[in-house]
Amino acid sequence: MKKISFKNITWIDFENPDSSTTRYLHENFDIHPLAIEEFVTPTIRPKATIYHNCIFLTLHIPLYDVVERTTYAGELDIVITKDHLITGHDHKIFQLTDFFEKLENSEGKRRNYMSTSTAHLLYFLIESLVESCFPRLDHIHKNIDVIENRVFAGEEKEMVREISIAKRDVLNFRRTLKPQRSILESLAQMKTPLINSELKAYYQDLVGTNTRLWNSLESAKETIESLEETNNSLLSNKLNITMKVLTIFSAVMLPMTVYSNILAMSADIPFGNNPYGFWIHMGIMFIISIFTILAFKLKKWF
């Protein structure tokens, strides 16, 4: 548990909340039991609930798995009362930790962010989390640019997996981000003494930021899907060329194979006693192959 206070406002952060967290909240706060229960229970869907003396929120923050190279949702549970902001999360959320440490190390930031109300502190926290998504989006767009360059550099086979990884990353990012808009809109529309009317415009601004993120993700989705189609077309074209070459080679060899089989069926091979018989037959097969190629060219088969 980490705690930071300034004037009448306290922020308490729990990493990996458990049964001891439940006891602590029951013993030290007059929070609705349902809010405490939800605080320590994993939630699949984001939610926002108003209780008689607090607000409970569940947000999902887009986090990045370096090993799997994809985005995943990190759950952040939040309870705000008149004097306390309480957060809990199972995964380490770098953006939240960084914001907490900035407040710890700077009295000026505590004065700016923790002087008014817990709802103001919540706004600055959510703003920090939302804004941190833009560098991740920039990384996705740079990765797409690299893939595009390599696709047109002749590395289509290598890019099949890279495109799939990029598509999964964008998909997981979208799946994490999309439900957050409804939560931000709920905060902007909540009728509770904990959020005063002038602060609602700030939460509405977060909705606009979320929309910009979503539009950028839509652009990345369309781009990577177009790149996948282009890559598949280039791969298909290369495969067609390879099959065409193999087919031509087989067609040229077929008459020569028939000729050699006919010779094998005869007990008395023409020019069998001629010292140049082998080269004579090789010349005949060469002439047959040239004739076959010319016939294909006349038919415009290649």
Q: What is the pLDDT of residue 272?
A: 67
Q: What is the pLDDT of residue 229?
A: 94
What's the start-to-end Cα distance of the chain, in Å?
A: 74
| Positive or negative: CA dihedral 177, 179, 180, 185 | positive
* Phi, psi (degrees; rounded to nearest 5) at 95: -60, -40
Structure tokens at 113: 């962010």
Q: What is the pLDDT of residue 302?
A: 65
Closest-CA residue to 224 (of 281, 146, 280): 146
pLDDT, averaged per 10 consecutive residues of the chain (302 residues), comes to: 90 90 88 87 86 90 90 92 92 91 91 91 94 92 94 90 94 91 88 86 91 94 94 89 81 81 72 76 84 80 67
Strand order in the sheet with 9-15: 2-6, 9-15, 84-89, 70-80, 55-65, 47-50
Q: What is the pLDDT of residue 266?
A: 64
CB atoms within 10 A of CB 200: 17
Q: What is the pLDDT of residue 84?
A: 93
Task: Give the chain's domains with CATH numbers.
Answer: 2-237 (3.30.460.20), 238-298 (no CATH)
Closest-CA residue to 72 (of 176, 217, 142): 176
Report the C-alpha gap between 24 and 101 in whole angstroms.
Answer: 23
pTM: 0.80
Q: What is the pLDDT of residue 297?
A: 79
Closest-CA residue to 136 (of 95, 88, 180, 101): 95
Q: What is the pLDDT of residue 213?
A: 93
- List CB contacts of 66: < 8 A, sequence separation 6 or more: none
How big is the chain by its Cα radius of gyration, in Å? 34
Q: Are the CB atoms for 96 and 89 separated by under 8 Å?
A: yes
Q: What is the pLDDT of residue 79?
A: 93
Q: What is the pLDDT of residue 134?
A: 93
Q: What is the pLDDT of residue 242?
A: 82
Q: What is the pLDDT of residue 224?
A: 95
Structure tokens at 171: 């998909």
